[in-house]
Amino acid sequence: MSNKIIDAPLTPKKVQSVYDFLSSFYDYLTRYESLSKERGVDVADIRLGDKVFEAGFGTGQIVIASAVSVGMYGHVYGIDVSSKMLEKTRERVKKHELTKRVDLQLGDARKLPYTPGVFDVVFTSYLLDLIDTPEISCVLKEFKRVLKPGGRLVVVNMSKGDSRYSTMKLYEWLYSRCPSLFGGCRPVVIEPFLKALGFQYVKRECILAGHVIPSEIVWGDKPK
């Protein structure tokens, strides 16, 4: 498996525009991601009373699951670049009567509006595969900054897979010609970034999302 990651040319403004457009049918479009996201939530091990942060919450399915897991004494925070996604997720939170446990806002993962060391869990799915390669470390540093010592980071994203899966060369070829066609996502390999930033107990699992697209779940703990 090659760890070389192709560039992500979409600007943050373009990503916002793409996901505003996709918001009305995003859940249908991304049904194939459900298994990898569910596994990511499993390894996050969210507990009663936890403070959880999700970057790029989309339509809020994981926000709801997290808010249930933290209970009445925990809290869930989230940012997303898309105002339409924010609107849909707030509606979903209200429908589930969880507004007192959830705080959502527009934001960019490159600069988080939180003080250091406040979260027990930081979770993100299919976000880093939108971020241009030179900025991936910057985003992960922000995640590490806002984690409590001993807190866990869980990342789910499209990946290159491993030797058991078909290569993503055709996908990357199509992406290089029209990146917005796939919502801006391209295959990335995140495990080396977490190790380079000093996360402990880093692990990686691969899942063939929708029986076609390799995804990875990567997680590690901030040193105590």
Residue 35: predicted pLDDT:
87
Residue 182: predicted pLDDT:
78
Residue 3: predicted pLDDT:
73
Question: Which CATH superfamily includes the segment(s) 12-221?
Answer: Vaccinia Virus protein VP39 (3.40.50.150)
Residue 151: predicted pLDDT:
98
Model confidence, pTM: 0.93
**pLDDT tens per residue, the chain (224 residues)?**
457 899 998 998 999 999 999 888 877 777 778 889 999 999 999 999 999 999 999 999 999 999 999 999 999 999 999 999 999 999 999 999 999 999 999 999 999 999 999 999 999 999 999 999 999 999 999 999 999 999 999 999 999 866 554 567 888 889 989 998 778 899 999 999 999 999 999 999 998 876 578 899 999 999 99
Both tokens of 56, joined, read 């790029």
Residue 155: predicted pLDDT:
98
